[in-house]
């Protein structure tokens, strides 16, 4: 019996040691996080159904390709020619601006635009009815947040010959227009 008692003790010890490893172990920790929630607005450009499809559509850095333009003849889809006079012609495309707000309590925003550099000779750029220069100019003073607001990009081209006030012919011309939205 003595062997039986010894075996029983060993089995009991094994059971106790084995059950200790089966008990779930836990540990706890804490992270204290601090943040500052800031209000902000963002500006994105969206293609207008009646205008040229924007490169970078839905972003704050879009591009528009008007294609080959002239006072007469076909234009790219989404480009119109609202005026032709003896001295110039205008081509136009529509685009949408959406200003999204987060935590801003202002009821509207002001949209301004300016040319990044002086326009090439013989070209005049306008957004809606505002002729652009290198100084910021208000385009809209009561823009509605969180919705597409339609605007027109107008390019007026002089019909004068190059060197006499007209633009270069047959050469791609590019211009950068910077937009700024400011909460009211």
At residue 121, what are phi and psi to the nearest 5 degrees? -55, 135
Predicted pLDDT at 28: 77
Q: Which residues 6+ apart lie within 8 Å of 126 measured at CB?
A: 132, 153, 154, 155, 156
Residue 50, pLDDT > 80, answer: yes
Give pLDDT tens digits for 135-155: 999 999 999 999 999 999 999
Alpha-carbon gap, residue 53 to 95, rounded angstroms: 8
Give pLDDT tens digits for 73-119: 999 999 999 999 999 999 999 999 999 998 889 999 999 999 999 99
At residue 99, what are phi and psi to the nearest 5 degrees? -110, 120
Alpha-carbon gap, residue 79 to 142, rounded angstroms: 27
Alpha-carbon gap, residue 17 to 28, rounded angstroms: 25
Predicted pLDDT at 23: 61
CATH number corresponding to 43-183: 2.60.40
User: Hey, where are the domains in the chain?
Assistant: 43-183
At 140, which helix (H) or strand (E)? strand 137-143
Alpha-carbon gap, residue 180 to 117, rounded angstroms: 16
pTM here is: 0.79
Q: Which residues 6+ apart lie within 8 Å of 77 measured at CB?
A: 52
């Amino acid at each position: 019996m003595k062997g039986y008692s010894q075996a029983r003790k060993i089995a009991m010890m094994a059971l106790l040691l084995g059950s200790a490893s089966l008990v779930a172990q836990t540990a706890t920790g804490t992270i204290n996080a601090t943040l500052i929630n800031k209000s902000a607005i963002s500006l994105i450009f969206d293609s207008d159904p009646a205008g040229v499809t924007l490169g970078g559509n839905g972003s704050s850095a879009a591009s528009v390709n008007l294609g080959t333009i002239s006072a007469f003849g076909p234009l790219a889809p989404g480009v119109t020619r609202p005026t032709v006079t003896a001295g110039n012609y205008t081509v136009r495309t529509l685009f949408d601006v959406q200003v999204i707000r987060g935590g801003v309590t202002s009821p509207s925003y002001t949209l301004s635009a300016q040319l990044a550099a002086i326009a090439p000779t013989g070209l005049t750029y306008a957004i809606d009815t505002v002729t652009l220069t290198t100084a910021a100019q208000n385009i809209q003073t009561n823009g509605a947040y969180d919705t597409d607001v339609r605007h027109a990009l107008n390019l007026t081209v002089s019909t004068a010959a190059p060197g006499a006030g007209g633009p270069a012919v047959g050469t791609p011309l590019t211009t950068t227009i910077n937009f700024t939205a400011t909460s009211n």
